[in-house]
A and B are shown apart, each in its own frame.
Chain A
Amino acid sequence: GAGVSQSPSNKVTEKGKDVELRCDPISGHTALYWYRQSLGQGLEFLIYFQGNSAPDKSGLPSDRFSAERTGGSVSTLTIQRTQQEDSAVYLCASSLGPRQDKETQYFGPGTRLLVL
């Protein structure tokens, strides 16, 4: 079946602009995760959605970052007033959840964001 998909693949934006990154999880996966991969910080957890439960936003670096998940499927990560330090690869992953939320996370190809 289809894997996790993300769009756009690459995004170049100017400092101060807002960006939206999209993730389509594997069909049937109820858990969805966002991670950020940057040169200085490695791979960092950002946010976790499980079904209709309130998301765990503990990894979001600032209030400029937000995410939503509509209909328990597609998720959008929004970065407002982008800064140069937001430049990174944003990875989305999904897993079966909820009882299996320790199970394997399958990753999408990521969105590379460059803030000029």
Chain B
Amino acid sequence: AQTVTQSQPEMSVQEAETVTLSCTYDTSESDYYLFWYKQPPSRQMILVIRQEAYKQQNATENRFSVNFQKAAKSFSLKISDSQLGDAAMYFCARGGSNYKLTFGKGTLLTVNP
């Protein structure tokens, strides 16, 4: 099975600090996509950031950036200047030619004031 692994069930960060969430994945495809989604208590899955595997440049979206290491099959999410509103469950997901998303188990992020 082609899996996505998030090794940190829970993480915490102080407001305004930086935190990195880890994700590794397995795939036999050369063309695939990686995503980080955020799920607050409202249940709504919100796209945080997307990375195309063929792009060498790491994706960034404001305070969110990724460290994509294709050879290592690693895709970590860095949140800078953490805010209280960043508190949520974060899911790493991989999409490929079969269009289905495979999700990790999630990392629960707590932001302390």
Q: Chain B residues near A50 (CB, 8 Å)? A: 99
A35 to B106, CA, bound (A): 15
- List A23-51 residues whose CB lies under 8 Å from chain B: 31, 33, 35, 42-43, 45, 48, 50
Chain B CB within 10 A, most for which of A33, A89, A102, A109: A102
Tell me if A59 and B97 are in contact (CB < 8 A).
Answer: no
**Known A-B contacts A43-B91, A109-B42; A48 and B99 likewise in contact (beta carbons under 8 Å):** yes
Tell me if B100 and A107 are in contact (CB < 8 A).
Answer: no
**Known A-B contacts A42-B105, A43-B91; A31 and B99 likewise in contact (beta carbons under 8 Å):** yes
> How many residues of chain A get a CB closer than 8 Å to chain B's CBs?
24
Tell me if A42 and B42 are in contact (CB < 8 A).
Answer: no
Chain B CB within 10 A, most for which of A43, A50, A91: A43
Chain A CB within 10 A, most for which of B42, B43, B47, B93: B43
Q: How far is the CB of A108 from chain B (nearest CB, A)?
A: 8
Tell me if A59 and B100 are in contact (CB < 8 A).
Answer: yes
Q: Chain B residues near A33 (CB, 8 Å)? A: 99-101
- List B61-80 residues whose CB lies under 8 Å from chain A: none
**Known A-B contacts A43-B91, A109-B42; A104 and B103 likewise in contact (beta carbons under 8 Å):** no
Tell me if A42 and B103 are in contact (CB < 8 A).
Answer: yes
Q: Chain B residues near A106 (CB, 8 Å)? A: 47
A: residues with CB less than 8 A from B are: 31, 33, 35, 42-43, 45, 48, 50, 56, 59, 89, 91, 93, 101-110, 112
Q: Among the listed A43, A102, A103, A104, which residue makes an inter-chain contact with B97, where contact means beta carbons less than 8 Å apart?
A: A102
> How many residues of chain B get a CB closer than 8 Å to chain A's CBs?
25
Tell me if B45 and A107 are in contact (CB < 8 A).
Answer: yes
B30 within 8 A of A: no
Q: How far is the CB of B8 from chain A (nearest CB, A)?
A: 15
A98 to chain B: closest residue by CB: B99
B44 within 8 A of A: yes
Tell me if A48 and B100 are in contact (CB < 8 A).
Answer: yes
B106 to chain A: closest residue by CB: A42
Tell me if B99 and A102 are in contact (CB < 8 A).
Answer: yes
Q: Give 13 new A-B contacts, CB below 8 A, not counting A42-B103, A102-B33, A102-B95.
A: A33-B100, A42-B105, A43-B93, A43-B101, A45-B101, A93-B101, A102-B31, A102-B99, A104-B35, A104-B47, A108-B44, A109-B42, A112-B43
